[in-house]
Chains A and B, each alone.
Chain A
Amino acid sequence: MALFKKDVLLEVRQQYTFYGVLLYVASTIFVLYLAMGQPEAAVWKGLFWMMQLFICVNAVAKSFLQEGKERLLYFYSIAGARDFILSKLLFNALLMVVMSLVSMVLFLLMLGDPTSDAVAFLLISSLGGVSLSLVFTFLAAIAARAQQSAALMAILGFPLVIPQLLLLNKISTIAFAEVQGGLAGMIVLLAALDVMIVVLAIILFPFLWKD
């Protein structure tokens, strides 16, 4: 818990990730706006999830790569592996929820509002942000242990999140049109997937940690 607090504090003080990613989001969405104007709903939705994916890679990659070897050793001596990964998962989930909200506001401002139910979409995009952040947090841990850059994380992560993105894209149709059957099942599936990722991360992370 203290580690989680440390991450939040660091973020609040430095505000490096936040503004960095904010600028990244804003400029990308602006480029999209220049290129496409105000696209129709299906394109809007697709672009939104692609943006989320890239934001996630950028925001989450930092969380492990920023910690130097010495600092990791320090954490190792004061906290268990499980607490460490839990605090990272929690922090990144929080960060991605904030980022999802920000990018959704920017999308609505610049690319128009094709949603019929903005609140539902807000909830779905938060859920999506959390799901993506969980996967990428764990992959960032792997990539950091392999002493590789964020590029490796992208290579590992993109195939892995395709099923999740497909699910999210399906689910988010709720916010655009009449609800079809079977979507509730998909939300449950996504939530179950999230729970499974957390459980796996808790089980597997200690193996990454010891050296």
Chain B
Amino acid sequence: MLRQNWWKILCAALLLYTIIMGFLGPVPALPILDETIRNLYFHVAMWMAMMIAFIVSVIYSVKYLRSNSLVHDIYSLEYARTGIVFGVLGLVTGSVWARWTWGAFWSNDPKQLGAVIALLIYLAYFVLRNSMTDLDKRARIGAVYNIFAFAMLFPTIWIIPRMVESLHPGGMGNPAFDTKDIDARMRIVFWPGAVPGWTLLGVWITTLRIRLRLLEEKRTHSNV
């Protein structure tokens, strides 16, 4: 299924396109933002890759509860792991950007806090899983927590920051990130290039890890 090569080549090409255009491509000159607007290709796109990874993880958790097949559990776990990696990258790129535009790496902005909460919740997911040794039980309870945490977290992350004051673009009269005011020259890099590029990279990493895990499983079973 996903063993074919074309999408990996596509991923590399898209990321190459994103990085080249990200550093050299034309961007609108806006006050304060200046060249940091290029971070759109990295920071925003990485967040989207994280969201997609977490959503896929929850879908596999639901599938696990319906099928009880441990393969689905491994999928769910590895997608959550990739989501964390992209979450950390998004946080770091975001705070580097904040350093140049808001003046500090960290300023307790609601969106920054929301991001940290999201990461803490997923780290708790790994703690919960490691606290159990029984495979089926670990998978089942992990899946339940994953669904519960996702359903609790993301509505609040999507809603609350919009209700309180934030410096983050996209609210309170700041230039928002939406189809209307994203510059046309940037749009052709962001949507076709950066978002699918980073997402495919996430999928690539995850499928490699899943294959590794499945091989490990197979080996432990054959040894027994």
Contact = CB atoms under 8 A, between A and B. Distances in A.
Given A159-B117, A207-B65, A208-B140, A186 B163 contact: yes
Interface residues of B, number: 30
A182 B162 CA distance: 11
Contacts of A207: 65, 140, 143-144
A191 to B, nearest CB: 13
Given A145-B137, A189-B159, A155 B127 contact: yes
Contacts of B124: 155-156, 159-160
B152 A197 contact: yes
Nearest to A166: B160
A99 B114 CA distance: 29
Contacts, number: 79
Which secondary structure dominates where chain B touches chain A? helix
Contact of A204 (B127, B148, B156): B148
A1 interface: no
Contact of A167 (B140, B145, B149, B160): B160
Interface string B108-145: 00000110010011001001100110000100110111
A193 B156 contact: yes
Given A142-B141, A146-B141, A160 B152 contact: yes
The 5 closest A-B pairs by CB, nearest first: A163-B156, A159-B120, A159-B121, A204-B144, A156-B124
Given A142-B144, A166-B160, A197-B152, 9 more contacts: A146-B137, A160-B121, A163-B117, A167-B160, A186-B163, A193-B155, A200-B147, A207-B140, A208-B144
Interface of A: 135, 138, 142, 145-148, 152, 155-156, 158-160, 162-164, 166-167, 170, 182, 185-186, 189, 193, 196-197, 200, 204, 207-208, 211
21 contacts: A138-B148, A142-B141, A142-B144, A146-B137, A146-B141, A148-B131, A155-B127, A156-B124, A158-B120, A159-B124, A162-B113, A163-B114, A163-B160, A166-B164, A167-B156, A185-B163, A193-B156, A207-B143, A207-B144, A208-B144, A211-B137
Interface of B: 65, 113-114, 117, 120-121, 124, 127-128, 131-132, 137, 140-141, 143-145, 147-149, 151-153, 155-157, 159-160, 163-164
